[in-house]
Amino acid sequence: VVGDRWTLLIVRELLLRGPARYSDLQHGLPGIATNLLASRLRELERSGVVSREEATPPVATALFRLTPRGEALEPIVLQLGRWGAPFLAQAPQSDAFRSHWLALPLGHLLQDHTPDRPGITIELRTGDQPLTLDVGAGAVHVRPGAASRPDAVLSGPPRPLLAVLTGKLSLAAAEGAGVRYDGDRALLLRVQPGPEGLAEGSRRGSGATARRRSPRGTRRRRS
């Protein structure tokens, strides 16, 4: 059901986007043939993982969304991402990359170490599109798009930027790799994962209704 080529990647795309249009999915899945996307969506619909929703008359676009059965795949997708993260280091530069792919793993990897402080916003500029971290109340929410008035901005190539965020690389060292940071250093420290955060078996089930959060890493096919 989810073992065919592209299928789990389509699920991941829907997990981090929520309901999406056909062309959104196409953009998030660089390299997929359009007939395959159509075919996979049909199969996923038939097996009850995805539901297609013809939008209301004023809007002219159909939406694809995960059913509860589809959302139940989230922990699996997250674990696969975590398992595969070490392989990212060897991934060729030519691999496709979309910044929103970071949303799922970052949401689980980053923490809010000072939940009592007022919330802050950090903007990430990397890849094709900015990413916004909303930090506060002990949680970090990641969403695609630019922040309106960010408290800090971190920009640079994906790899070193990620290394800085996870604390594996100091800002000073990362500057040589093109990473720039504009803001209070304390804000970075607030969200960086502790040493356990990077360990293999860490799990931080916070709220009872917690969803949309992940460990680390992301993966993609050749191109």
Partner DNA sequence: CAGCATCCGCTTTGATACTG
Partner DNA sequence: CAGTATCAAAGCGGATGCTG
Q: Which residues lie near DNA (CB under 7 A)?
A: 4-6, 21-24, 31-36, 38-39, 41, 52, 60-64, 221, 223
Which residue among 19, 84, 167, 197 contacts its own copies (CB under 8 A)?
84
- H-helix or E-strand spanning residue 69: helix 68-71
- H-helix or E-strand spanning residue 167: none
For residue 159, give every residue at least 6 positions away whose Cβ sits within 8 Å of its Cβ, in sequence order, or none: 88, 177
| Residues 175, 219, 198, 215, CA torsion sign | positive
Closest CB to DNA among residues 23, 206: 23
76 binds, among DNA, its own copies, none (CB under 5 to 8 A by kind): its own copies
For residue 219, give every residue at least 6 positions away whose Cβ sits within 8 Å of its Cβ, in sequence order, or none: 80, 81, 84, 85, 87, 88
Q: Does position 206 bind its own copies by CB under 8 A? A: no
Closest CB to DNA among residues 35, 148: 35
Which 125-164 residues touch its own copies, going by CB under 8 A? none
Which residue among 1, 33, 38, 171 contacts its own copies (CB under 8 A)?
1
For residue 35, give every residue at least 6 positions away whose Cβ sits within 8 Å of its Cβ, in sequence order, or none: none
Which residue among 47, 67, 192, 202 contacts its own copies (CB under 8 A)?
47
CA angle at residue 207 from 202 to 209, to 5 degrees?
Answer: 115
What does the binding site for its own copies look like in residue numbers (CB under 8 A)? Answer: 1-3, 5, 8, 47, 69, 72-73, 75-76, 79-80, 83-84, 86-87, 200, 221
